[in-house]
Amino acid sequence: MPPKPRRRTVVIARGVDSFFTGVYDGARFFGSFLLEAVRPPFHLREIIRQCYEVGVRSIPLITLTGFITGIVFTKQSRPSLAAFGATSWLPSLITVALLRSLAPLITALICAGKVGSSIGAELGSMKVTEQIEAMEVSAINPFKYLVVTRTIATTFMVPSLMIYCCFVGMTGSYLNVHGNEATSLAAFLKSGFSTITYLDVASSVSKSFVFGLTIGIIACYKGYNATSGTEGVGRAANASVVLAMFIVFIEEILIVQIVHWLRT
């Protein structure tokens, strides 16, 4: 029987090998997506259907979350600004916070949880029941029809949902500010957008595109490569959410740092 340190070393080596193998497979999967995304046919009808599933069906949850975020963040910020007699800065503070960080991150996390798990479970179920193999027999490219369409949908719908989330959050903030300071809508918008630059808008939209692409690729990769029957479907759905959220946070840190360099 080998000694415990040797056994521990073997376990660590297998874990490292599994990690780099997964990174390599993921990179190949992403490369295949880039190639298939520019090759006809483009399955526009399926892309539109997936945009509806990703975008329209996420609106109620985005609305509720964005509205509550705007109200809560405004209420929490007011006492700190009131201590310095600067409550008039609330619209500007809320607008900057929502546009630069809160709206993109909240939208990405909601889509990772709702859309990512749905895609992972759907493709995982198709994989373990051999429906994907049946599509190949029917002369249909399953990767293009299933993966490319869903990833394109998430890539373009997450930025749209982010803009909507920002609007809803500002609506909640305005109602709170108007109820406490009787600020008019025109004054709120003028103060809110006075410090917003084109770089803020461009960075937030670009960030959301990256988040949407990440969520789509990870969810499709985990579902498309699911194994071990129904248990594998559950693992694929769970891994889609956890890994997508983790990568989104990493991308948030990197993009914020890049935007900071551009500002300076």
pLDDT digits (tens, 9 = 90+) for 10-34: 666 666 777 778 788 888 999 999 9
Q: Are 46 and 141 in contact (CB under 8 A)?
A: no
Q: What is the mean pLDDT of the chain?
A: 88
What are the boundaries of each domain within the chain? Answer: 1-39, 43-263
Residue 211 has pLDDT above 70, yes or no: yes
Residue 72 has pLDDT above 60, yes or no: yes
Nearest to 93 by CA among 164, 159, 176: 176
Nearest to 110 by CA among 170, 69, 76, 167: 69
Beta strands in 36-130 (DSSP E): none
- Lowest-pLDDT range of 15-19, 65-69, 134-138, 260-264: 15-19
- How confident is residue 2, by pLDDT bands cut at 50, 70 and 90? low
- How confident is residue 207, by pLDDT bands cut at 50, 70 and 90? very high
Q: How far apart are CA 189 and CA 99, in angstroms?
A: 13
Query: Mind giving me the DSSP string for 109-140?
Result: HHHIIIIIHHHHHHHHHHHHTTHHHHHHHTT-
Q: What is the mean pLDDT of residues 58-77?
A: 93
Q: What is the dihedral of CA 228, 231, 236, 237, to 10 degrees?
A: 160
> Two tokens at 203?
């960075």
